[in-house]
Chains A and B, each alone.
Chain A
């Protein structure tokens, strides 16, 4: 049974439709991504999940609870990191984590959490004096301090430098490995590709596709493309006879072969058997970026 089940969610602000029609289900223990351009309705969707907003239509169920009706119970089991939510500048890291721990009946140990999040050296630093990455980690700590079964993280790494972003990714994987289900809102392709087990692409308030990152890529172009420069003359038939190969073309001294899964293995073994070395070998694969463009008709940002 999915831990989160969203069906035909619809939400508007006055006349402005923020979420047209969104459905998805999140399985226990996975990192589920919600990917989409600015204004797609990602934040609104997760705010409905967290019970911060009431849906205008559709149903939302989180751990079998109705986020609005069972709000009190939900807050004990769901940790939320809101987009652009800060703390008073003069509050120290340790104070914040201990305060939020006191809000729960069975919280995580604040001291350990601070260490796990790499904030040990900042425990007595005021929030306003932390770097963007450190502030973001405090935010994650507060989302996790109630020892939740599900954590919703909205725009976790926006504004972080690449190193801080990678550190944060590692952290999220650790959290998942502890058995926490994670809903990750992002508009970074690389982040979605690296972290998410499955993801929903949302555009203009609608779900365009839901799949694993590689499934999404395969959907738009199931093809692989290999280029190389053979060290000795090569008969095209040798390649064409392979079941994995679809087309063979030559440009200059280069051979370009397209085909399905397993293309590279098939090619290298037939070349080896014929004592031909493939120089400048390059495998080109469609990326999640290509998939996104194909699915939404535009690039992210």
Chain B
């Protein structure tokens, strides 16, 4: 049953052609686009001492996780509620909570796919080293994903429709990218903005991932804050989630 449900949900996601394209190909395109520019492989002061491909790989992971958490997750789940899919499932022996679980599982798998593709491509094409403090990198990735997916679940919990889910998601999506340092690298942001950005889920994720990549000690405060987002958001989502 679970296998069938997962397989089918995966197929449905693949049929939304745009979704896998945006999550997997957009970050890859960014990596290639910046990585192939002349002089990209020199460490750049503007990027905190990282090379362009290394910086873009970390950025791509952040973008993929943000799109999954703040856009795809709330749109899909709120849509399932709006269509009555969750309610219909509630009349069968299988609890609709399984559907949420399967969805989360798929998004986690997609995020892992994105991070793998980016690290491997950067390594092969540009000789970018694999993140130096790998456990810290993994921790940043997992905690950041937990935070963003948790927030996505809160949106899905309260959004009355698929459109509303997309809307609220977008309301958080663009500021997240901005504060996280996706439009302007964090090193070039004004100090105040950077201070705020470092504690947003995406900002903290990007910063800790990049630190780990370069081999510097990740800041524990940042990791702790990221670790707090997921359970807090999860609790709110669980308390407010409406099945109909």
Contact = CB atoms under 8 A, between A and B. Distances in A.
A and B part of one assembly: yes
Nearest to A75: B93
Interface string B165-187: 00000000000000000000000
A91 interface: yes
Interface in B198-237: none
B92 A103 contact: yes
A90 interface: yes
B87 interface: yes
A86 B85 contact: yes
Contacts of B88: 80, 82, 85, 87, 142
Given A88-B80, A90-B12, A90-B15, A100 B92 contact: yes
B34 to A, nearest CB: 34
A47 to B, nearest CB: 9
Interface string B1-24: 100110010011001100000000
A88 B1 contact: no
A13 B177 CA distance: 41
B9 to A, nearest CB: 9
A72 B93 contact: yes
B83 A103 contact: no
Interface string A101-115: 011110000000000
Contacts of A283: none
A76 B94 CA distance: 10
A182 to B, nearest CB: 15
Interface in A69-103: 72, 75-76, 78-80, 82, 84-88, 90-91, 95, 98-100, 102-103
Contact of B84 (A76, A79, A85, A90): A85
A104 B92 contact: yes
Nearest to A85: B84
- The majority secondary structure among interface residues of chain B is helix
Given A75-B93, A82-B91, A91-B8, A103 B1 contact: yes
B39 to A, nearest CB: 45
A142 B92 CA distance: 10
Nearest to B93: A75
B84 A84 contact: yes
A82 B12 contact: no
A82 B89 CA distance: 11
A199 to B, nearest CB: 23
B91 A52 contact: yes
A50 interface: yes
B90 interface: yes
A95 B8 contact: yes
Given A75-B92, A99-B8, A102-B4, A52 B87 contact: yes
A95 to B, nearest CB: 6
Contact of A80 (B1, B16, B80, B91): B91
Given A75-B92, A76-B93, A104-B92, A86 B8 contact: no
Interface string A287-298: 000000000000
Contacts of B12: 88, 90-91
B161 to A, nearest CB: 13
A84 B83 CA distance: 8
Given A95-B8, A98-B4, A102-B1, A87 B85 contact: yes
Interface string B68-111: 00000000000110011101111111100000000000000000
B93 A104 contact: yes
A279 to B, nearest CB: 56
Contacts of B93: 72, 75-76, 103-105, 146
B165 to A, nearest CB: 14
Interface in A45-81: 50, 52, 72, 75-76, 78-80
Nearest to B15: A90
5 contacts: A85-B83, A86-B84, A90-B12, A102-B5, A103-B89
Given A72-B93, A87-B88, A95-B11, 20 more contacts: A52-B91, A75-B93, A80-B88, A80-B91, A84-B84, A86-B85, A87-B83, A87-B85, A88-B79, A88-B80, A88-B83, A90-B15, A98-B4, A100-B92, A102-B1, A102-B4, A102-B5, A103-B94, A104-B93, A146-B92
Task: Give the 5 A-B residue pairs with the shortest CB-CB distance, closest first.
Answer: A85-B84, A80-B91, A86-B83, A90-B15, A103-B94
